[in-house]
């Protein structure tokens, strides 16, 4: 039994390189943009990621980044699988 699904883990791993926009994450992980936002919302509610809203060209853009808890979870999975 896994504590976290493979897609969510892939999203967290993608965010190890730094904050990113949902569409970029979706492309990197290989899921639809609609699907990625469902996972991102759940990860935020679980305290694994945080959302930063940035105004670009007069529009608000959301960037998603790992929290300390998210970083610890990814490192734990990597350590367990090494």
- Write the DSSP string, the chain: --SS-HHHHHHHHHGGG--EEHHHHHHHHT--HHHHHHHHHHHHHTTSEEEEEEEETTEEEEEEEE-HHHHHHHHHHHHHT-
pLDDT at 15: 97
The reply to whether 30 falls in a domain is yes
pLDDT at 2: 57
Helix axis angle, 68-80 to 6-14, nearest 10°:
110
- Token pair for 40: 């991102």
Report the predicted TM-score, pTM, of the whole model to 2 decimal places: 0.89
* Counted domains in the chain: 1
pLDDT at 1: 38
Structural domain boundaries, residue 48: 6-80
CATH number assigned to the domain comprising residue 25: 1.10.10.10
pLDDT per residue as tens, the chain (82 positions): 356 889 999 999 999 999 999 999 999 999 999 999 999 999 999 999 999 988 878 888 899 999 999 999 999 988 888 7
pLDDT at 3: 67
């Amino acid at each position: 039994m896994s504590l976290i699904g493979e897609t969510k883990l892939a999203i967290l791993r993608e965010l190890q390189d730094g904050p990113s926009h949902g569409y970029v994450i979706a492309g990197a992980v290989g899921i639809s943009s609609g699907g990625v936002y469902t996972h991102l919302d759940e990860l935020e509610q679980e305290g694994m990621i945080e959302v930063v809203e940035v105004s670009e060209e007069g529009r608000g853009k959301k960037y998603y980044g790992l929290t300390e808890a998210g970083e610890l979870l990814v490192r734990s999975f990597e350590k367990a699988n090494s």
